[in-house]
């Protein structure tokens, strides 16, 4: 797997976790809205690596415990993907410095 592939996978992970956080925040913001149905984000594996977010409406209201777990795990996963991007960037810089 090339550095570019690693970076693309990490970027897709960032986008996925961002969508999870946005969707969860919307669920929490509408917890008291009558008739509101929560949404969930699922990941679909992309050919060549990475993940794509799919948002699906549920038949249930918002469960604040589930939303808390979603937000904590999304934040941790976002941070991990950002660390991968940073490391790949540093490796690319080191490689370019070697050839310069």
CA–CA distance, 28 with 67 (Å, rounded to integer): 7
pTM of the model: 0.86
Domain ranges of the chain: 3-90
pLDDT for 49 beyond 90:
no
Instruction: Indicate the pLDDT class of residue 1, thresholds 50, 70 and 90.
Output: low
* Cβ-based burial of 27 (10 A; exposed 0-12, middle 13-18, buried ≥19): buried
Average pLDDT over residues 10-20: 96
51-80 pLDDT, tens digit each: 999 999 999 999 999 999 999 999 999 999
CA–CA distance, 87 with 92 (Å, rounded to integer): 9
């Amino acid at each position: 797997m090339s550095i570019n592939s690693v970076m693309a996978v990490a970027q897709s992970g960032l986008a996925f976790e961002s969508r999870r956080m946005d969707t969860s925040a919307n669920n929490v913001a509408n917890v008291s809205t009558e008739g509101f149905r929560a949404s969930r984000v699922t990941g679909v594996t992309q050919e060549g690596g990475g993940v794509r977010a799919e948002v699906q409406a549920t038949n249930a209201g918002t469960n604040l415990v589930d939303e808390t777990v979603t937000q904590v795990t999304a934040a941790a996963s976002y941070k991990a993907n950002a660390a991968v991007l940073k490391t790949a960037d540093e490796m690319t810089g080191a490689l370019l410095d070697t050839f310069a």
